[in-house]
Every structure is written in C-alpha cells, then in structure tokens.
C-alpha cells in the first residue's frame, strides 16, 4: 500500500464481535459445537483476523481478547491430565461452548423477533400522513452481511493466488479513485456484481482496494449490497 493509503481505516459497526465470528466459522466448517477442534478453529479465527487487518478494518479490542482466549484454551488442552484425580476436570472449552450456545440462542431469538409482524414494516395502524409520493421501486431483498463480503473477498484472493510472476509496472489505483469508478459504473448500470468490479487480471492489491471501496460506500450508505442466493454473486445497487 502507498503511504497515504496506510492511514486509511474502515470503521465498521456491522461486525458483531468475536462470538459471531466463531459461530460463523463453526457453521461454515460444519464443526460440532460440543467438540470444537480448538487448534483448527484458532487457526481459522486468526486467519480471518489477519484478513481484516489487511483490509485495515478497525477491530474491536474484544476480537483480540478472544484470540488470546483461544490460544489459552489451546495451551490448556495440551497439558496432559492426570487420570488418578477423582474429581471431574472441566473441559477447558466448556465456558466458550456455553457462551457460544447462549449467544446462538439469542441470535435465533432475534430472528424470531424479526419474523413477527412488525409495526410500520408488516402492519400499519391508521394515521398515515397525507403527502403521498408513490415510489417506483420494487420490494426489497435481504441484505448481504459483512461475512458474505468477506467470503467473496476470500474467494477472489484464492483465485489470485496462482498468478505467475512477471515484472511490469502496475498502475496503482487509490481507494478514492476506485470509489468514483464504482459510483460511475453503478450510476449508469444501477446494479452490478462484485466480481465485475475487478479487472480481468488482478492482483491482491486490486482486490484489497476494491473491497475497501465497497466497504466505504456501504458505510456511507451510498450503495446497497445484496446476495440473492447463498454463495451466489453479490449485487451492488445505488442506494435510493
């Protein structure tokens, strides 16, 4: 990154926290929450944290506390347990498992709340004001979340891995430039997929700049992000 870009930080409040990230990793890797392979999950967790650092996403301190906790549990698991001891030894993962389950329950509860008929979303009482303006937009789809973006980011990064080494001068493009590129394209096309934002051959740098630009536009609510099917293309729309 050029020196001016190094100061660039993305502040995202969409990140829910370390528990959310862990649940995401457990679900994505189809792990058993009652028998978490701590070594594997720690590695994955640190990889994602690293990825967010590459993106200069400002991480809440809780993410780092959790990283330390995972490493601590991992260390405890390595200590051999003396079999002679009569009293039951608690699994070092127990507290984490409990917290994850508890958090998952409330995540589900939030989904259930969200499925209720909510006032001013699904149902309306009388008393609508008079200045009607009929819009021409269709019904909205479900928004893609930050993890969908991260997964998309990871898959393009993986694709970029096999690139052959050749030396040439690369035109550096700044995040600001990319933002105006995206806005220009999106304002003409109204909607574009995330994939098409990248040039035909691209470097890691291109991906990073593109993701940063998209995150920034999302934060400024200038665009809206949708993923219609799981792992499908991510569509970007102009925020109306």
Partner 1 sequence: MEKEKLLAIIESLIFASEKPLKTKYIEQVMSIIDLEGITIQELIEQLKTKFSYEDSGIELVEVAEGWQFRTKPAFAEWIKRLNTVKPFKLSQPAMETLAIIAYRQPITRAEIDYVRGVDSGAVIKTLLDKRLIKIVGKKELPGRPIVYGTTQEFLEVFGLKDISALPNLQDIKQIGSADEEIERNQTELPLSSPESTDEE
Of residues 25 and 156, the one with the C-beta less far from partner 1: 25
- Coil, helix or strand for 208? helix
The CA-based diameter of the chain, rounded to the nearest angstrom, is: 79
- Coil, helix or strand for 235? strand
Asked if residues 214 and 194 have their Cβ atoms less than 8 Å apart, the reply is: yes
Query: If residue 181 lies in a helix (H) or strand (E), which one and from where to where?
Result: helix 175-189
Residue reference for tokens 């009293």: 87
Residue 29 Cβ vs partner 1, minimum distance, rounded to whole Å: 9
- Coil, helix or strand for 77? helix
Residue 75 Cβ vs partner 1, minimum distance, rounded to whole Å: 21
- Coil, helix or strand for 17? coil
Q: Is 103 in the site for partner 1 (CB under 8 A)?
A: yes
Residue reference for tokens 């992000």: 225
Q: Is 87 in the site for partner 1 (CB under 8 A)?
A: no
From 43-51, 83-91, 115-123, 230-238, span contacting partner 1 (CB under 8 A) = 115-123
Q: How far is residue 108 from each of residues 28, 50, 60, 94, 112, measured CA to CA in Å?
A: 17, 28, 23, 21, 6
Using CB under 8 A as the binding criterion, the count of chain residues that bind partner 1 stands at 55
Residue 145 Cβ vs partner 1, minimum distance, rounded to whole Å: 7
Q: Is 11 in the site for partner 1 (CB under 8 A)?
A: no
Query: If residue 227 lies in a helix (H) or strand (E), which one and from where to where?
Result: strand 223-227
Residue 48 Cβ vs partner 1, minimum distance, rounded to whole Å: 15
Q: Is 10 in the site for partner 1 (CB under 8 A)?
A: no
From 3-11, 29-37, 38-46, 161-169, span contacting partner 1 (CB under 8 A) = 29-37
Considering only residues 121 through 140, tell me which ones interact with partner 1, judged by CB under 8 A. 121-135, 139
From 119-127, 168-176, 187-195, 212-220, span contacting partner 1 (CB under 8 A) = 119-127
In the 3-class helix/strand/coil scheme, how is 94-153 assigned residue by residue?
HHHHHHHHHHHHHHHHHHHHHHCCCECCCECCCCCCCCCCCCCCCCCCCECCHHHHHHHH
Of residues 2 and 61, the one with the C-beta less far from partner 1: 61
From 17-25, 78-86, 188-196, 215-223, span contacting partner 1 (CB under 8 A) = 17-25
Binding track, positions 41-80, relative to partner 1; x by CB under 8 A: -------------------x-x---x--------------
Q: Which residues here bind partner 1, judged by CB under 8 A? A: 13-14, 16-20, 23, 26-27, 30-34, 60, 62, 66, 98-99, 101-110, 112-114, 116-135, 139, 145
């Amino acid at each position: 990154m050029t020196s001016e870009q190094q100061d660039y930080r993305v502040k995202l409040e969409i990140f829910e926290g370390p528990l959310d990230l862990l649940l995401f990793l457990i679900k994505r890797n189809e792990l058993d929450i009652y028998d978490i392979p701590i070594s594997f999950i720690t590695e994955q967790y640190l990889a994602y944290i690293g990825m967010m650092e590459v993106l200069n996403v400002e991480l809440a301190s809780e993410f780092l506390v959790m990283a330390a906790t995972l490493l601590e549990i991992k260390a405890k698991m390595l200590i051999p347990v003396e079999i002679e001891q009569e009293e039951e030894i608690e699994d070092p993962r127990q507290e984490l498992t409990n917290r994850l389950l508890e958090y998952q329950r409330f995540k589900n509860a939030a989904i259930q709340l969200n499925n209720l008929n909510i006032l001013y979303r699904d149902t309306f009482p009388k008393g609508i004001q008079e200045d009607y303006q009929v819009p021409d937009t269709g019904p909205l789809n479900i928004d893609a979340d930050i993890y969908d973006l991260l997964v998309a980011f990871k898959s393009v990064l993986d694709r970029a891995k096999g690139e052959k080494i050749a030396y040439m001068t690369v035109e550096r493009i700044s995040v600001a430039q990319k933002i105006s590129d995206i806005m220009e394209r999106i304002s003409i096309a109204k909607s574009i997929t995330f994939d098409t934002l990248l040039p035909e051959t691209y470097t890691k740098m291109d991906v990073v700049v593109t993701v940063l630009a998209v995150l920034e536009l999302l934060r400024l609510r200038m665009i809206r992000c949708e993923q219609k099917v799981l792992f499908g293309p991510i569509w970007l729309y102009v925020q109306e």
